[in-house]
Amino acid sequence: MTLAARPGDFRSELRRTWELATALAIRSLRVRYRATLLGQVWWVVRPLAMGFILWFALGKVLRVGVEHYPLFLMAGLYPWFWFESTVSGSADVLVGNSGLIRKAVFPRFVLPLTSVLTGTFQFMYTLPVILLFAAVSGETPGLTWLVALPVLLIVQISLLMGLAPLVASLNVFFRDVGPMVEVAMRLLFYGTPIIYPLSRVPHAIRPLVMLNPMTSVIEGWRDMVMTNTFAGADLWPALVISAGALVLGLGIFRKTEKHFADAL
């Protein structure tokens, strides 16, 4: 008969998992750009370069007519890059550490958690850039940020904490999951109001667009950055889907982790 773990044991295990994941995330940040001249600045430069291209193509050539379009783009691109890089990176986080999984005993959940923490730390680097764009556009942070910023961080982290272990565990058994995620991210980018405002989406398909949890998350970031307002109840699609993703992702990961070593 297996005895249930005592609360003290669970808290201790949770603390060790968190500490190990944090250490691995920091190490990943240091190693990833160690041989580059700009280091972590690349995390800021990539969305910035893409934003410049989109601003020129859509703002200057096609003239989408969105006020403060550079700020509009950056307020959507940086949260999106955080989401995309974390979900895409989590696909290989178990497969890429197959040797470690087969030989070492450690909480397997550390690996997808590390992926989420790495993306979150990188996103924090971008907040000063978003603030700079806001200042240039004449917007300054207000007291609303004290509520909106932590809520938006929690919502997006919760969504990623569900999707990362789900994608990671499925890719162990079905290696097509990785390429499928890459295609899905490309399609989802254009299905999310990042380069266009939600108001331009036809009413007939707007409910479908709102099923994408990143739609309400991106709108929340824009409300905070561009108008100093808090999305509040408008975040409900992301909240509901994040809760569902957490239950599904953690449940599947827990049920399949004992088979990872054999599948890898």
Domain boundaries, the chain: 7-263
Predicted confidence at residue 3, as pLDDT, reads 41
Predicted confidence at residue 142, as pLDDT, reads 87
Predicted confidence at residue 213, as pLDDT, reads 93
| Confidence bin at 6 (pLDDT 50/70/90) | low
Q: Give one DSSP letter per residue of 190-224, joined into a string.
A: HHSTTSS-GGGS-TTTHHHHHTSHHHHHHHHHHHH
Predicted confidence at residue 62, as pLDDT, reads 66
Pairwise pLDDT comparison (3 vs 97), residue with the higher score? 97
Checking if the pLDDT of 167 tops 80, the result is: yes
Q: Give one DSSP letter per residue of 99-131, joined into a string.
A: HHHHH--S-TTHHHHHHHHHHHHHHHHHHHHHH
Q: Identify the three-state secondary structure at position 176.
A: coil
- pLDDT tens per residue across span 22-36: 888 888 777 776 666
Pairwise pLDDT comparison (109 vs 43), residue with the higher score? 109
Average pLDDT over residues 60-82: 86
In terms of Cα–Cα distance, which of 256, 54, 249 is closest to 166? 249
Cα-Cα-Cα-Cα dihedral sign, residues 108, 121, 242, 218 = negative
Find the radius of gyration of the CA atoms of the chain: 20
Average pLDDT over residues 144-162: 94
Predicted confidence at residue 34, as pLDDT, reads 67
In degrees, to the nearest 5, what angle opens at C-alpha 232 toward C-alphas 249 and 201?
80
pTM of the model: 0.87
In degrees, to the nearest 5, what angle opens at C-alpha 29 toward C-alphas 24 and 35?
125
The two structure tokens encoding residue 8: 């003290």
Give the Cα separation of 198 and 132 in Å (integer).
24
CA distances from residue 137 to 57, 71, 132, 160 in whole angstroms, order as listed: 20, 7, 9, 30
CB count in 10 Å sphere of residue 257: 18
Predicted confidence at residue 25, as pLDDT, reads 83
Checking if the pLDDT of 70 tops 60, the result is: yes
Pairwise pLDDT comparison (217 vs 232), residue with the higher score? 217
Per-range mean pLDDT, top range of 1-5, 66-70, 75-79? 75-79
Pairwise pLDDT comparison (110 vs 233), residue with the higher score? 110
Give the Cα separation of 74 and 156 in Å (integer).
17
Predicted confidence at residue 185, as pLDDT, reads 94
Give the Cα separation of 10 and 14 in Å (integer).
6
Query: What percent of the chain stands above pLDDT 70?
Result: 91
| Confidence bin at 9 (pLDDT 50/70/90) | low
Give the Cα separation of 123 and 105 in Å (integer).
31
CB contact at 8 A, 86 and 158: no
| Confidence bin at 4 (pLDDT 50/70/90) | very low
